[in-house]
Amino acid sequence: MVLALSEAAHRFRAVSSTGMSDPTSKSPASTATDTVPSVEEALGRLQMPLVEAMMTQRAVRRVLPDPVDDAVILECIGLALRAPTGSTGQNWEFVVVKDQRVKEQLAARYRQAWSLYGGIGKRLAGEDESMLKILRAVQWQVDNFTEIPVLVVACLRAGVREGRIPYMPTPHVGASSFFGSIYPSVQNLLLAARAMGLGASLITLPLWSVTSARSILGLPLSVTPCCIVPLGWPRGRYGPTTRRPVEDVVHLDSYGNRAWR
């Protein structure tokens, strides 16, 4: 399986080096800088090979204020719903935020959390330019949060009858099972956004206060906000990402046995 993925990745790198990632390419998979495609063009890009979408997906935080058509948003969420959930519960709920007032309230929570985490991040980053680049991108998102056209808040629905009591500590297996039902769908959403050329990222800081988030979004106690995916047409482009070699993170049978190194 690792070999097959490596071969697929190698083929993708070979193709991309021939110009597929060039913004002047006529391929529907290419994403030109600072351009807004038509709905038909965006949906047509969903034919992008899965390996290409996976190899070039990255957090794109700097986006244009131009609106994103509802058909594109709903297609992203529709593909998100193809992901599995625990016991096939299909207990997702997605709140699509466009209202400026709601954005401003979530932006205020984001700034509160970032004032702490951003400062810690800068101190830890020191002179590491790669980390500072990420921090600058997050800072841009914090500063321009209300200008992002769409915020998709991914939530899970589960109440007392399903064994989840709001604000009560949950055993690890319970928390893992619960939140494990949202992130496969969020990854589907991110891959769909990537294929269509939408800028997207996964963030949680605006939801640091679940009580506040519920109030802002009008959520009942049985619905838990899990993360936010801001969506917009990118100020820039996607491209191949750099990751650690698979051999460095895989262990055979027990931790520390790096059999594939």
In a domain, 12, yes or no: no
What are 82's two structure tokens? Answer: 């193809």
- Residue 27: the pLDDT is 38
- Residue 7: the pLDDT is 54
Count of domains forming the chain: 1
CATH number of the domain within which 204 lies: 3.40.109.10
In a domain, 89, yes or no: yes
Positions of the chain with pLDDT under 50: 1-5, 12-32
In a domain, 260, yes or no: no
* AA letter at 146: T
- Residue 212: the pLDDT is 98
In a domain, 6, yes or no: no
Domain that holds residue 221: 37-248
In a domain, 172, yes or no: yes
* pLDDT tens digits along 47-91: 999 999 999 999 999 999 999 999 999 999 999 999 999 889 999
In the chain, which ranges are continuous DSSP H helix?
A: 2-15, 39-44, 50-56, 70-80, 100-125, 129-143, 172-179, 183-196, 210-217
- Tell me how long the chain is: 261
Nearest to 58 by CA among 145, 143, 137: 137
DSSP string, 144-197: TGGGSSEEEEEEEE--GGGT--TTS---HHHHHHHHTTTHHHHHHHHHHHHHHT
Task: Say how far apart CA 119 and CA 135 lie, in whole Å.
Answer: 10
In a domain, 30, yes or no: no
In a domain, 32, yes or no: no
- Residue 164: the pLDDT is 75
- Residue 200: the pLDDT is 98
Distances (CA, A) of 108 to 12, 23, 139, 148, 202: 41, 36, 13, 14, 18
* pTM score of the predicted model: 0.86
- Residue 2: the pLDDT is 45
In a domain, 139, yes or no: yes
- 13 forms bridges with which residues in the sheet? none
- Residue 169: the pLDDT is 82
